[in-house]
Amino acid sequence: GGPDGGSLAGGGEAFADRSLSQGLSVLVGLALCVTMLGLGCAVELGQLGQQLRRPVGLLLALLGQFVAMPLLAFLLALIFALDEVAAVAVLLCGCCPGGNLSNLMSVLVDGDMNLSIIMTASSTLLALFLMPLCLWVYSRHWINTALVQLLPLGAVSLTLGSTLLPIGLGVLIRYRHPRAADLLVKISLWSLLVTLVILFILTGTMLGPDLMAHIPASVYTIAVLMPLAGYALGYGLATVFKMPPHCRRTVSLETGCQNVQLCTAILKLTFPPELIGSMYMFPLLYALFQSAEAGLFVLVYKMYGRDSYKQDTLGEEEDTDISYKKLKEEEVAETSYGTVTTEEHNSVQMEPTQTAL
């Protein structure tokens, strides 16, 4: 490992406590199930069929979540010379699919909700095959270290596979009980926030004042830069595809927002706590900064971008109205051509009567 190897593994004793470890495992597992259930409840089969016929959302999810973000995580790990423990945590977060936070933020920036939901669902399903593959490819640089040699790709695949059941159940609930599905979507979003707060409190209490010492500044820097770069990459990707502004904002948020619940669950459920140590905190740090930066994104849009969005929308409505008026005028002109009006018809009837008199 690198020079910080000892400090990165620090805090492992606290995580090794059996009762605390089991409690966290149960909490993380339940939070992941609720999140995936909410994701399934947000998917409508009709929209899914439309996206499969024109799979732009699927392609963007593939490029954003399993090409751009894993490569970004790998490059950041190299640039900041992370050791194998930190590198695995960063790579795991970068290889995760999109998270539910992007759906909420897309609403706040007047994005395309159908595109947002389809991208999140598509990346989650693709993760079953592509996430272990990306981890295997990008961890080759640290292959000679014990942690990477023990990288539990089978356990990662099993954890991903277990998310299919709540997603499928959510899709079924949406199909049969739409109102209940809407309620479960809201519950899943609130559970995301509550779970992150609880995990911060519990892990902070377990690690105590040594937390700052166990996580080097380079890891905090990556937690700040990675979601920010993800948002920029997503916007650039949507620009390359020549998508409208509201879709660009959606793809940007979808690319930068990772499923931190899944990342936390994999770190907690598949790695020995004495090996992963305090780097269990990395997805929580990522969640903190991705939320803060997405909040700034929304704030800037509300202050400067919403007026232009309204003008664009108004312009589209005016163009439609003008086109409609023009069409009606053309219809009137075509109808009046070669026809007799009511007045003309009366005058024609009156003239023979006067002549008869």
Q: How confident is the model at residue 317 (pLDDT cuts 50, 70, 90)?
A: very low
Q: In the chain, pLDDT over 90 holds for what percent of residues?
A: 22
Per-residue model confidence as pLDDT tens digits over 157-212:
777 777 788 888 888 898 888 888 888 888 887 777 777 777 777 666 665 556 55
Distance CA 138, CA 73 (A): 9
Calpha distance 106→249 (Å, rounded):
7
> What's the pLDDT band for 142 if we cut at 50, 70, 90?
confident
Exposed/middle/buried for 93, CB within 10 Å: 0-12, 13-18, 19+?
Answer: buried
DSSP assigned state of 304 = I
Q: Sorting pLDDT into bands at 50, 70 and 90, what band is 332?
A: very low
pLDDT reported for residue 308:
60
Q: How far apart are CA 89 and CA 315, in angstroms?
A: 47
How far apart CA 235 and CA 63 sit, in angstroms, is: 12
- Give the span between the Cα atoms of 288 and 204, in whole angstroms: 14
Q: Give 86's Cβ-side CA count (13 Å radius).
A: 29
pLDDT in tens, 28-45: 777 778 888 888 888 777
pLDDT for position 356: 44
Q: Which DSSP state fits 258? A: B
In three-state secondary structure terms, 216 is coil
Q: Determine the pLDDT at residue 313.
A: 52
State the pLDDT at residue 357: 38
pTM for the structure as a whole = 0.74
Q: In this structure, how many other beta carbons lie within 10 angstroms of the beta carbon of residue 202?
A: 14
Judged against a pLDDT cut of 90, whether residue 95 lies above it is answered with yes
Can you tell me the distance from the alpha carbon of 61 to that of 157, in angstroms, rounded to the nearest whole number? 19
